[in-house]
Amino acid sequence: MALDLPFDNSYARLPDQFFTRLAPTPVAKPSLIAFNRLLAKRLGLDADSLSSDEGTAALAGNGVPNGAEPLAQAYAGHQFGNFVPQLGDGRAILLGEVVAPDGARFDVQLKGSGPTPYSRMGDGRAWLGPVLREYIVSEAMAALGIPTTRALAAVATGEIVLREVPLPGAVLTRVAASHIRVGTFQYFAARDDRDALRALVAHAIERHDADAEDALGLLAGVIQRQADLIARWMGVGFVHGVMNTDNMTISGETIDYGPCAYLDTYHPLMVFSSIDRNGRYAFGRQPDIAMWNLAQLAMALLPLIDDSKAAQAELDRFPELFRAAWSKTFRAKLGLETVEDGDDELIHDLLHRMAENRADFTNTFRALGTEVARDEFLDPAAYDEWHTKWNERLSIENNSLKIALNAVRSVNPAVIPRTHRIEEAIQAAVTGDYRPFERLHAALATPFELSDSNADLARAPTKDEIVPQTFCGT
Ligand code: AMP
Ligand code: MG
């Protein structure tokens, strides 16, 4: 008996050139690694049947659930600045969409589900490492309250995937508001297919921008969401690592957890991705790159926008939208409630001192106002000077320092997914020991609280523990 899911597949109703219909490729021996019961509930899905043997088989790509209309989406994209007119889902299959009890619509996609016509040289598979990384980091992002695709399940395939060495294969079930990317628009613009572009704009407006009236309104919505998103990333020290236009959503959700990382020691030019040789996607360059990507979206939409000056005017708003969102994020991190002249300078001053003194990003913000923060600085006097200015600024608000410190603890996480902990969890999982994965994942579900027994997960890596590079999730 096939699994029943309440699918309603609006993307599958779009014209043929949007995708290739095909089912996932079955795997040898599916076994469930992780299942997200809370997310299943949020989607209105039956967690018991989805996590049963039959459900696990479906989430590994063995058999297509009733009501699914599996397909691989077509898209293009700028990869490190070079335009590739055809990318597409090379290792993912969209099963369909479910509408949650509150009316919100979600894509349910299998990642690592076998080759598609868009696989190019790839095998269409994923190994356990990137599947667990995406599970951990996307769920941590959600727990931090930052828009992101979600992880519903991770399933081991019982098959070997060949990378440089043989590795265990896995499939991730990814849930997203949609998988429409900047690159999806570029795909049709590159083919000068205006009918498809029009259909895509209408579809995207319906799903993400109910108030928008046209392509220009959609562009404005995407610009606002991306300005907010990048500010939120930077507020938690997140480096996406591969902000190609095919990895930037229209919904404003974070997507594609490949060579991403959270900063340990703060520096604005930190780069982790092994393939980002010129630091194009360095931590502090993310707003500029977002603007560049949004300019590509504007270019793709231009055939549908009568007034190109209006599109340019929308783009020109990005720096100020980003600055405002960044300022709001970091003012909250400092426990500031009101807006005063000089707030941005106060924030920049702290960040500058942190960079010069090799302070840990997460632990410094978490401990502001205490000896622990001071001890993060090579020269604690550099912290003391800033602390005096911060206290003067806080005294303008009628709140006591105690209230400010509570605010600081409520918005600055104690625990984030540090790269060395993720790698440790992956290495153990490869040997069949999932305990470190489960422990890390559980601690990250409540990032603003830390039990004593999890103190080690909040600690910055020692010199020997630092993982200097991250790799693409292939
Ligand atoms: P990404 O770096 O994850 O954004 O992927 C970029 C492109 O490469 C997308 O079109 C992916 O579908 C494709 N791709 C990545 N890994 C594989 C793989 N193992 N097999 C087939 N296609 C892949
Ligand atoms: Mg991608």
pLDDT band at residue 111 under the 50/70/90 scheme: very high
DSSP line for 293-347: HHHHHHHHHGGG-S-HHHHHHHHHTHHHHHHHHHHHHHHHHTT--S--TTHHHHH
Q: How far is 403 from 126, CA to CA, in rounded Å?
A: 47
- pLDDT of 431-441, one tens digit each? 999 999 999 99
**Pocket of ligand 1 contains residue 124 by CB under 6 Å:** yes
Q: How far is 148 from 210, CA to CA, in rounded Å?
A: 20
Dihedral sign of CA atoms 439, 442, 448, 451 in order: negative
90 CA closest ligand 1 atom index:
12
- Nearest ligand to residue 471 Cα: 1
Q: How far is 271 from 259, CA to CA, in rounded Å?
A: 10
The residue that leads in pLDDT, 403 or 31, is: 31
**Lowest model confidence (mean pLDDT) among 242-251, 426-435, 464-473:** 464-473
Mean pLDDT along residues 364-370: 97
- Residue located via tokens 């969409």: 97
For the chain, the average pLDDT equals: 96
Structure tokens at 240: 């996406």
Q: Separation of 88 CA from ligand 2 center, angstroms? A: 9
Q: How far is 132 from 381, CA to CA, in rounded Å?
A: 41
Highest mean pLDDT among 4-8, 10-14, 275-279: 10-14
**Pocket of ligand 1 contains residue 247 by CB under 6 Å:** yes
Name the strand (E) or helix (H) holding 84: strand 82-84
For ligand 1, pick from 22, 84, 113, 119 the residue to mutate: most ligand atoms within 8 Å of CB: 119
* Atom 8, ligand 1: residue with shortest CA distance: 90
Residue ranges of E strands in 197-290:
238-239, 261-262
Determine whether 246 is an active site residue.
Answer: yes
pTM over 0.85? The answer is yes
* Atom 23, ligand 1: residue with shortest CA distance: 90
- pLDDT of 225-275, one tens digit each? 999 999 999 999 999 999 999 999 999 999 999 999 999 999 999 999 999
pLDDT band at residue 287 under the 50/70/90 scheme: very high
* Atom 15, ligand 1: residue with shortest CA distance: 474
Q: Separation of 341 CA from ligand 2 center, angstroms? A: 40
- Which one from 246, 256, 264, 360 is the annotated catalytic residue? 246
Closest CA to 474 of 119, 150, 149, 156: 119
Q: Could you state, in order of their start, the residue ranges of all structural domains in the chain?
A: 11-176, 182-328
247 CA closest ligand 1 atom index:
4
**Pocket of ligand 1 contains residue 258 by CB under 6 Å:** yes
pLDDT at site 474: 63
pLDDT at site 473: 61
pLDDT at site 397: 87
